[in-house]
Amino acid sequence: MDVSARKKLVSEYLSKLAGKQDLDDSVDIFETGLVNSLAAIQLISFLEKNFRIKVEIDDLDNANFCSIQAVCNFLERKAVINA
Amino acid sequence: MLNRFLSPSQNQWLHAFEQFSADEVAPYADEWDLHEATPASVVKKLAHNGWLGGLAKEESGGLGFDATTFGLLNMAIGAGSGSLTGLLNVHSMVLKTIEDWGTPEQKQQYLTPLVKGEIIGAFAQTEVGAGGDSKNLSTQFVDDGDALLVNGQKTWITFAQIADLFLVFGKYQGLDTAVLIPKETPGFTITAKKNMLGFKSAYLAVLDFVDVRIPKSHIIGKPGFGQNLISNSALDYGRISVAWAALGVQQAALAASARRANTRSTFGALLADQGIIRGYLAEMSSSLLASQLICLSATKAKESRDEDALEQILQAKLFASHEAGTAAAKAVQIHGGHGCDESNGVSRLYRDAKILQVVEGSNELQKMLIGKEVCNRYSYSAV
C-alpha cells in the first residue's frame, strides 16, 4: 500500500471514530475529546488488522496515535522497521 | 439451539462445560450462596481442567480458547452459579493483560502460574467514587526511587478474598496507569465484603493500600495507557464473560420455570396449561434465542477482529444481562413464594441477574458508549 492510500484509509477510519467529517490531519483526537476511552483499543485493532503490524509495548505513546498525521508517521516507521 | 452455529470443537467444549456445571456446580450453588463462599475444591477442578487458563494462547500453556469458547464456558458455569463466572471473568482479564501487554519478566514470573491456576488474579479498578467513570480514580502511584508508593482504596473487587495477584488501576504523574501488586506486599490489606445482593459467593473484598511499595517494573504497558488500552482490552473479555453468563442465567430461569409449570397446579389446572404462564415461557424462550444470537455475533466479531467488535460486545452485555433480569423476574413470579425464598435457586438467579446489569460497566454506561458510537456512525455516513 502506498503512502497516499495508507493516509486515505487512516483518515477515513479516524474521521469515523471521531464522528467528524473532514477531520484535520493534525487535530489531536484525544486532547480535543473527540473520542472516548474505547477509541485507543479500536484504533490499535484497526491498525494491526489492516496494516499487518503488531503494536508493541514500546509503541504505546499517545504521540503515535493522537492524529491522522501521527498515525501515518507511526505506520511509516513500523513499515520501515518491518521491511 | 446454539449448537448449530458452533464448530465441532466448540460443541465438544460446550458438552464438557455443561457436564461439569451439572455435576460440580449447580447442585452446590445455593449452599455456596448462603455461606458466601466458593470451596477451593471447585476452583482447583477448574484449574485442573485447564479452564482458568483457557483463554491463554497455547504457547503460553493455555488451551487457546477463542472468544466464543470462552463465552460457552461462562454460559455453562453461569447456568449453575453466576458467582463462579466472576472467577473466570477477573482471572482471565488479568491473565490476558499480562499475555498481551506484559514485559518478558512479568510473563515469566506470573503468566504460567496464572494459566495453571496456581495463583488467582483479580482486577482492581472500581473505587467508591469511581466505577465506570474511571477517569476519576483516586488511587495514586507516586515515585519512590525505582519503586512506586501506592495509596488508595478499591472496593467490590471480585474474588479478591482468594486472589494472589491484583491488577490495580490508578494515577501516576496524572496518567492512567495499571500496576501488578501481589497479595503479600506490605501495606496491602484485603477485607471481605459481605451481604451483597447477588454474586454472594464471588468473594468480594475491599482493598486498602497504605504506602505500598512496588517496583516500577510492575507497571503493565506504559503509564497513560491504563484506562485507554489495558483496562478496555481486558474488559472486552470481562463483558463477554458477563454477557454469556447472562445466557446461563436465562437458561436456568427458563428450565426452572418450565419444570415448575409442568408440576404445579392452580385452580384445577397445571400452570403449563394456563395461557398466561405459557406466554411468560414463550417470552423467556424468545429472549433467550435473541440473546444467544447477539452474544454469538459479538464473539465471532471479536475473533475476526471486526471493526465493530467492541460495539457488538457492549450491546451483547447490555442486551443479555437485561434479558436475564427479565427472565429471572418471571421465574420468581412463576414460582410464587418459593421463588422468594433466599435459599431457592430461582431467587439466586434473580439476585445474580441484577449484578450482571451493574458489573463491567453498568448498563447505563453501556448505553452511553453505544449511543456515542451510533451518533458517530450516522454523523459520518451523512456525507
The CA distance from A6 to the nearest CA of chain B, in Å, is 17
- Within 8 A of B309 by CB-CB distance, chain A residues are 45
Which of the pair, B125 or B227, is modelled with greater confidence? B125
pLDDT at B183 exceeding the cut of 70? yes
Instruction: Kindly report the length of chain B.
Output: 383
pLDDT at B165 exceeding the cut of 80? yes
pLDDT in tens, B50-66: 999 999 999 999 999 99
pLDDT at B382 exceeding the cut of 80? no
Cα separation, B357 vs B317, whole angstroms = 8
Q: Could you say which of B103, B310, B377 has the minimum Cβ distance to residue A38? A: B310
Across the A/B interface, how many CB contacts are shorter than 8 Å? 62
Q: Let me know: does B40 contact B79? Beta carbons within 8 Å.
A: no
Q: Let me know: does B63 contact B49? Beta carbons within 8 Å.
A: no
**B 222-241 residues with CB < 8 A to A:** 222, 224-225, 227-229, 232-233, 236
Tell if the CB–CB gap between B309 and A17 is shorter than 8 Å: no
Cα dist from B243 to B168, B207, B363, whole Å: 24, 26, 11
pLDDT in tens, B305-326: 888 899 999 999 999 999 999 9
Which of the pair, B133 or B365, is modelled with greater confidence? B365
- Within 8 A of A62 by CB-CB distance, chain B residues are 224
The CA distance from A7 to the nearest CA of chain B, in Å, is 18
Question: Residue B149, Cβ neighbours under 10 Å: how many?
Answer: 17
Q: Let me know: does B369 contact A36? Beta carbons within 8 Å.
A: yes
pLDDT at B133 exceeding the cut of 80? no
- Give the pLDDT score at B383: 46
- Give the pLDDT score at A82: 63
- Give the pLDDT score at B378: 83
- Give the pLDDT score at A4: 87
Tell if the CB–CB gap between B375 and A19 is shorter than 8 Å: yes
C-alpha cell at B74: 461462562
All domains of chain B in start order, with CATH: 2-116 (1.10.540.10), 121-222 (2.40.110.10), 227-376 (1.20.140.10)
pLDDT in tens, B89-124: 999 999 999 999 999 999 999 999 999 999 999 999
The CA distance from B295 to the nearest CA of chain A, in Å, is 19
Cα dist from B20 to B35, B63, B116, whole Å: 22, 17, 18
Task: Please state the pTM of the whole predicted model.
Answer: 0.94
- Give the pLDDT score at B132: 72
- What is the mean predicted confidence (pLDDT) over B32-55? 98
pLDDT in tens, B199-252: 999 999 999 999 999 999 999 998 988 877 888 889 999 999 999 999 999 999
Tell if the CB–CB gap between A60 and B221 is shorter than 8 Å: yes
Angle of the B309-335 helix axis to the B345-358 helix axis, nearest 10: 150
- What is the mean predicted confidence (pLDDT) over B379-383? 58
Sign (positive or negative) of CA dihedral B284, B313, A33, B363: positive
Nearest CA in chain B to A18: B376
* B166: helix, strand or coil: strand
Segment (H or E) for B209: strand B205-215
- Give the pLDDT score at B274: 95
Range of the domain at A22: 3-82
- Give the pLDDT score at B381: 55
Per-residue pLDDT of chain A (83 residues; tens, 9 = 90+): 788 889 999 999 999 888 888 889 999 988 887 887 778 888 988 999 899 899 988 898 888 999 999 999 999 998 766 65
Q: What is the CATH number of the domain that holds A74?
A: 1.10.1200.10
Half-sphere exposure of B334 (CA within 13 A, CB side): 32
pLDDT in tens, B350-363: 999 999 999 998 99
- What is the mean predicted confidence (pLDDT) over B354-375? 92
Q: How confident is the model at residue B346 (pLDDT cuts 50, 70, 90)?
A: very high
- Give the pLDDT score at B48: 98
The answer to whether A61 contacts chain B (CB < 8 Å) is yes
pLDDT at B260 exceeding the cut of 60? yes
* B149: helix, strand or coil: strand
Question: Residue B383, Cβ neighbours under 10 Å: how many?
Answer: 7
Convert B348-369 to b/e letters by CB count within 10 Å (16 or more is b): bbbbbbbbbbbbbbebebbeeb
Q: Give chain B's mean pLDDT.
A: 95
Cα separation, B165 vs B32, whole angstroms = 23
Residue B207, phi then psi, degrees to nearest 5? -110, 130
**A 20-59 residues with CB < 8 A to B:** 20-21, 36-42, 44-46, 48-49, 57
The CA distance from B25 to the nearest CA of chain A, in Å, is 35
- List the single best residue of A11, A14, A37 to mutate versus B (max B Cβ within 10 A): A37
Give the total number of structural domains in chain A.
Answer: 1
